[in-house]
Amino acid sequence: MGIVEKMRLDGKKGFVTGAARGIGKCTATAFAEAGADVAIVDLDLATAEETAKEIAEATGRKVIAIKCDVTSEEDVQAMVDTVVKELGGLDFCHANAGICINVPADEMSYGQWKKNMDVNLNSVFLTDTIAGKYMLANGGGSIINTASMSAHIVNVPQPQCAYNASKAGVIQLTKSLAIEWAKRGVRVNSISPGYIGTDLTLSSPTLQPLIAQWNAMAPMGRLGKPEELESICVYLAGDTSTFTTGSDFILDGAFTCF
């Protein structure tokens, strides 16, 4: 069997959170294109259903949509139970849901701080541990977390201390779980994207004016594309990455190299 065949995900089952659009939609599409059955998990059920239908029609795979508040332990448990029941198992997951609140620290309310931590870090703990318990009891699996280059640098000019701290926490959580589960068949890795040109970024009245400045600072002079994150996620979800755990993959066009 050649490397292309080995990279396929035929027979595998998984889910992606925050998958109705953006990065999550792209990775869910890539997983299905590689042969996996996938659950599109999002708080926006209507868009998740549209995305699931689109991917299913394009790939011929079983793709379902599940509404889930990833900050709720009960919702995440119910979501994982539904994935296992509807897809027939759980081999991988991509904890991708996240938000960014751009508010100066001296103006940020504690409520805003907590919301950022809940969505970006606490939800990853819930997703990883609840999915991980199933994987630990059923032969193993692969967990992928979306961190950020903001875990490695402090972004400018936008103020985003809560986001940066939460994403740094994601990387340390990833490494901690990888160590705990290294001998038990569950691998945990993270990806750290740089500035990615999602629909949200490109249309945001707050962020859109900053794109020219970001590009001026970027070695490649441009934003990344969501599709440029797909191959690493397919690799991490599959069986060619069985010696890869506890790693963070920075995908930023060399932005953090200086």
Q: Which amino acid is at 206?
A: T
Q: What is the pLDDT of residue 245?
A: 98
Q: Is residue 177 part of a domain?
A: yes
Q: Is residue 37 part of a domain?
A: yes
Q: What is the pLDDT of residue 108?
A: 97
Q: Which of 163, 190, 195, 241 is catalytic?
A: 163
Q: Is the pLDDT of residue 209 over 90?
A: no
Q: Is the pLDDT of residue 247 over 80?
A: yes
CB atoms under 10 Å from CB of 176, counted, come to 13
Residues 6+ apart with CB under 8 A from 211: 195, 201, 202, 223
- Cα–Cα distance for residue pair 42/151, rounded to 1 Å: 24
Q: Is residue 192 part of a domain?
A: yes
Q: Which of 12, 13, 25, 167 is catalytic?
A: 167
Output the domain CATH number for residue 103: 3.40.50.720
Q: Is 235 a catalytic residue?
A: no
The predicted-structure confidence for 79-123, as pLDDT tens digits, reads as follows 999 999 999 999 999 999 999 999 999 999 999 999 999 999 999
Q: Is residue 258 part of a domain?
A: no
- Give the percent of the chain with pLDDT over 70: 100
> Residue 119 gets which letter from DSSP?
I
Q: Is residue 193 part of a domain?
A: yes
Q: Is residue 194 part of a domain?
A: yes
Average pLDDT over residues 34-60: 98
Q: Is residue 217 part of a domain?
A: no
Range of the domain at 191: 3-198+227-250
Q: Is residue 204 part of a domain?
A: no
Q: Which of 148, 150, 190, 241 is catalytic?
A: 148
Report how many domains make up the chain: 1
Q: Is 148 a catalytic residue?
A: yes
Q: How far is CA 99 from CA 63, 121, 144, 146, 195, in A?
A: 25, 10, 17, 11, 14
Task: Tell me the whole-structure pTM to 2 decimals.
Answer: 0.96
Average pLDDT over residues 48-66: 98
Closest listed residue to residue 96, CA positions, set 245, 232, 242: 232
